[in-house]
Chain A
Amino acid sequence: MSVQLDSDSLTTILQGPGGEMARRYEALWQAVWRQGHVPPGVLELCRLRLAQLHGAARELDANPPPGAREGLDPKKIESLLHGSWTRDPRFSADERAALDFAEIYAQDPQAITDEFAAAVKIQFGEAGLVALIEALGMIDGRIRLGMMLGTLLPVEADHG
């Protein structure tokens, strides 16, 4: 049976055996959340949606990245997790553009249309589109690693 990890546990499990490479991976992860083009609250909604789409229960229950929920209405998270966000008027245009894009991204990046990309650019600019795509890639990747590395890299493993 697979042992799933959340994002915090993933950091811990990679740090020992991963050494310097794990440190750089963590630095990239932190940079994604600190870039100045897409607000962390928008990325947090995308993180939760991707976790939902992956069926990553541990990621959904995990502590959010530092600062990710500052200013983010908890009711939006509730609405997202209950599947009613598309009808919820609390969601802003930028959050909707990012979430719509994230849903297509999660299924197949080749299915992304110019219209979805344009909707993101209207809200966040060209740099914002790139920043969002980078963030989605990192979020998706950490969810995948969390699902598989709990079994492959037990915490008690030696670091040879």
Chain B
Amino acid sequence: MADGLRAGTPDHKSGHVVRDSSLGLVPETLQPIIDMQDAIWHHAGVGPAVMEMLRLRNARTVNCVFCKSVRYDIARADGLTEDKVAHIDDDFVHSSLSEREKLVLAFADLYLRTPERVDAALAGRLRQEFTPRQLAHMAIALTTFHALSRCAVSLGGMPESLPVMEMPVPV
């Protein structure tokens, strides 16, 4: 882990967690990133609990301490309990999560670990469980989570650990 953040933050503070982060140094991409977050959490074909499972599976794979510590309130309100979150690990296949939830995590692992090898049986199960619209939205959300968590890790300044923090989605 790096000792300090490798890029600064904007001089002007807005009170918005994303605008006030290092991402605020690049105004050309800042609003598109915020618009993307809004679409993911408020206009997707799957609910916030599914999105949060994708986000946390990514966070734990990338090992982004910030991302791992966050729980979005709308995902909890949508039914994602800490009991379920505890199963988002490498042994999720043998957990008490529902088959649909396990498929969500398998989809995440496909993207995160072996995107070049799509197992035909898994592809069939995903297409049976989710509509093309839902798969497209899950894919876009996951790739956004992945890029942002890798961004946070790359910028350094990551603490060793943080407590779980519930917060609203920054849109």
Contacts and interface: CB of A to CB of B under 8 A. Distances in A.
Q: Do A and B bind each other?
A: yes
Interface of A: 2, 4, 14, 16-22, 24-25, 27-28, 31-32, 34-37, 54-56, 105, 109-110, 112-114, 117-118, 121, 126-127, 129-131, 133-134, 136-138, 140-145, 147-149, 151-153, 157-160
A127 to B, nearest CB: 4
24 contacts: A17-B132, A17-B133, A17-B136, A21-B40, A21-B137, A37-B26, A55-B116, A56-B116, A110-B1, A112-B154, A114-B2, A117-B7, A127-B25, A133-B154, A134-B151, A138-B147, A141-B143, A144-B115, A147-B115, A148-B111, A148-B116, A149-B139, A152-B135, A160-B131
B159 to A, nearest CB: 14
Contact of B39 (A24, A34, A110): A24
A145 B115 contact: yes
Interface string B140-171: 11011011101101111000000000000000
A31 B28 CA distance: 6
Contacts of B132: 16-17, 153, 157-160
B33 A28 contact: yes
Interface of B: 1-3, 6-8, 22-23, 25-26, 28-29, 32-33, 35-36, 39-40, 43-44, 62-63, 110-111, 115-118, 120, 123, 126-127, 131-133, 135-137, 139-141, 143-144, 146-148, 150-151, 153-156
B111 to A, nearest CB: 6
For chain B, what secondary structure do more than half of its interface residues adopt (helix, strand, loop), or is it mixed? helix
A134 B147 contact: yes
Contacts of B36: 21, 24-25, 28
B155 A133 contact: yes
A145 B32 contact: no
A138 B147 CA distance: 6
Nearest to B24: A130
A136 B146 CA distance: 11
B29 A20 contact: no
Contact of B116 (A2, A138, A149): A2
A90 B111 CA distance: 35
A152 B35 contact: no
A156 B147 CA distance: 29
Contacts of A117: 6-7, 154, 156
A129 B6 contact: yes
A151 B118 contact: yes
Given A117-B7, A148-B111, 6 more contacts: A24-B32, A27-B35, A114-B2, A117-B6, A134-B29, A140-B147
